[in-house]
Amino acid sequence: MEAPPPRLEASVNRFETNLRIPGPTSLPSAVREAGARQMINHRGPEFAGMQERVVGGLREFFGTANDIVLLTCAGTGGLEAAIVNTLSPGDRVLAVSIGAFGDRFAAIASTYGAEVTRLDVPWGKAAEPDALADALRAGGPWQAVLLTHNETSTGVMNPIADLAGVVRELAPDALILVDGVSGVGAVPFRQDAWGLDVVVSGSQKSWMAAPGMAFVSVSERAWQAGATARMPRYYLDLAKHRESQASGQTPWTPAVAVVFQLDVAIGLMRDEGSEAIFARHAACAAATRAGLDALGFRLFPDPAHASTTVTCVHLPDDLDWKAFNAQLKRRKLVVAGGQGKLSGKVFRIGHLGTVTLDEILGCLGAIEEGLLALGRQVTPGAGVAAGQRAGLESLGLIAGVEARG
């Protein structure tokens, strides 16, 4: 049987905003409707079945056979859980930061009394395995290394497998704790094969659900570390969650409506299939980068490590962010500005979750129109054409078109 074509259906709806921030993402209608369902007993069999299906689906995308705990909290709560459940005050932690979220992970570890050494990578760059190796050799013994999979503030995706390989080689006893909040689910990810101990993600990112839940995947080594870890914890005590989950429950009342949504969303992801999901994300990223480039925007990150879920570009000095963003908003396009020290210097476009190539082309079209409205020299259609070509090439649908001229 012939394989189905990659998903290209239009989903631009003039009554809705084209929400192109890197999470929360817009939701498929079936997921939205699921969130409006009547409540159920969260200590009954229906909830237990849902939780099991959701965790089973997450495992596939995390590439793990681990327990994955569903926490009712933001992604930051998941990061905090990763720290407080595995470490003790005074533990030596190497925090590899490539941006604002790496800084946050490091700050959580310091807040709870870890002795944190930072490896600060210039914003826009990925962490380099050799630099990590030098940092590991320069200190230690390390109880944990903190890594960011996808740095949403700079639009950089770290070579996480390579980085983890270096830690495994030089600090085999260190736990590898990974912020996977904005990447897992959108790109191939193999927690077990890469030897990652704790990986965290959040419902509002690649998972096509509303904010409100964090997922924490915990290796056997990390559970063992947890048995003696002394950082204080109660609400985020993962052992309590694991125990409840074994009987189909959560220790505290969960965000039931988000679990309804996740159940539907993960069903949609399974129907689409991981390969198609990854190809769709890669195509949307390629289209976004090519389209913005054709419109004269310079990519902020090192192109070799540009993220598949969020594109970050420089804001030209002579383009006023407020005026530009107002033009985009008039066209129902919502993008994200810069975070922290990048505020006013870059803007970001999210392409994760239910995103389609058509939504990206619509977004590029709105940007072109906004630029034209501000009197800038732009060839109408230039960004859209470049974006479409790159997206279709990425999907393998127009190989050779350029060669034919």
Q: Nearest distance from residue 229's CB to ligand PLP, in Å?
A: 21
- Provide DSSP, 315-356: PPTTS-HHHHHHHHHHTTEEEEE--GGGTTTEEEEE--SS--
Q: How far is the CB of 246 from ligand PLP (least distance, A)?
A: 26
Nearest residue (CB) to ligand PLP, 148 versus 327: 148
Residue 23 or 338 having the CB closest to ligand PLP: 23
How many CB atoms are located within 10 Å of the residue 279 CB?
Answer: 16
Helices (H) and strands (E) in the chain, counts: 15, 13
In the complex, least distance from residue 152 CB atom to ligand PLP, rounded to whole angstroms: 3
Determine how β-strand 333-337 pairs with β-strand 346-350.
antiparallel
Q: In terms of C-beta density within 10 A (0-12 exposed, 13-18 middle, 19 or more buried), how is residue 400 classed?
A: exposed
How far apart CA 313 and CA 292 sit, in angstroms, is 8
Residue 40, φ and ψ in degrees, nearest 5: -130, 170
Please list the residues that pair with 76 across neighbouring strands: none
Q: Measured from the CB of residue 247, what is the shortest distance to ligand PLP in angstroms? A: 27
Compare residues 112 and 391 and give the one whose CB is closer to ligand PLP. 112
Look at residues 393, 370, 358 and name the one whose alpha carbon lies nearest to residue 296.
Answer: 370
| Cα–Cα distances in angstroms (integers) from residue 62 to residues 4, 185, 351, in the given order | 25, 7, 19
148 vs 245 by CB, closer to ligand PLP? 148
Of 367, 67, 52, nearest to 199 by C-alpha is 67
3-state secondary structure of 203: coil
Between 143 and 201, CB nearer to ligand PLP? 201
Q: Which residues bind ligand PLP (CB under 6 A)?
A: 23, 74-76, 101, 148, 150, 152, 179, 181-182, 202
**Residue 52 · residue 259 · CB < 8 Å:** no
Residue 29 or 111: the one with the smaller Cβ distance to ligand PLP is 111
By the 10 Å C-beta count (0-12 exposed, 13-18 middle, 19+ buried), 317 is classed as exposed
Q: Which of 238, 230, 232 is nearest to 87 (CA)?
A: 230
CB of 273 to ligand PLP, least distance (A): 25
If you ran DSSP here, which 8-state letter would residue 150 be given? Answer: E
The tokens for 157 are 């995706």
Write down the least CB distance from residue 307 to ligand PLP, Å. Answer: 10
Q: Which pair of tokens denotes residue 367?
A: 């940007």
Between residues 74 and 372, which has the closer beta carbon with respect to ligand PLP? 74
| Residue number with CB closer to ligand PLP (184 or 360) | 184
Per-residue burial over 209-224, b = 16 or more CB atoms within 10 Å of its CB, e = otherwise: bbbbbbbbbbbeebbe
Nearer to ligand PLP, 73 or 315 (CB): 73
Q: Nearest distance from residue 141's CB to ligand PLP, in Å?
A: 27
Q: Shortest Cβ distance from residue 316 to ligand PLP (Å)?
A: 25
In this complex, which beta carbon is closest to ligand PLP, that of residue 156 or of residue 222?
156
Rounded least distance, CB 340 to ligand PLP, Å: 12
Question: Which residue number is nearest to ligand PLP in terms of Cβ?
Answer: 75
Using DSSP, state whether 304 is helix, strand or coil: helix
State the minimum distance, in angstroms, from the CB of residue 350 to ligand PLP: 9
Minimum distance between the CB of residue 206 and ligand PLP, rounded to whole angstroms? 11
| Closer to ligand PLP by Cβ: residue 181 or 361 | 181
